[in-house]
Amino acid sequence: MIDWKRVDELRDEIGADGFAEVADMFLEEADGAVRALLRGITAEEVEGQLHFLKGSALNLGLSDLAAICQDGERRAAVGEGALVDVSLVASVYRASRAALLGGLSVGEAGAA
């Protein structure tokens, strides 16, 4: 679910404080994107929200979320936005979010 190697690479690239900022910003924006998907938006908006989630998820190592979003983005791009399972996207996002935050807490506690 989480590519911890990618998480470590990003943290090494931008530092612990920078990583915390990026992660916080992503989670805040992703919460909004998931809420938008669940409340119902146009197919074009679905594609855009999934594109945002996919890119950010890849950057932060959330590989399962990125894969689900990529599939949905492809569907939306060919006019099948109504077939995107936004409940699945939301579920995978929540699980990824919890795993990331849980793993970071454990890693930070172990580093102290």
Q: Residue 34: what pLDDT?
A: 96
Q: Which residue has the higher pLDDT, 30 or 83?
A: 30
Tokens 């594609």 -> residue = 47
* Contact present, 65 and 53 (Cβ < 8 Å): yes
DSSP letter, residue 82: G
Range of the domain at 32: 4-111
Percent of the chain beyond pLDDT 70? 94
Q: How many domains does the chain have?
A: 1
What is the tens place of the pLDDT at every residue in 41-90? 988 899 999 999 999 999 999 999 999 999 999 999 898 877 899 999 99
Other CB atoms within a 10 A radius of the CB of residue 21 amount to 12
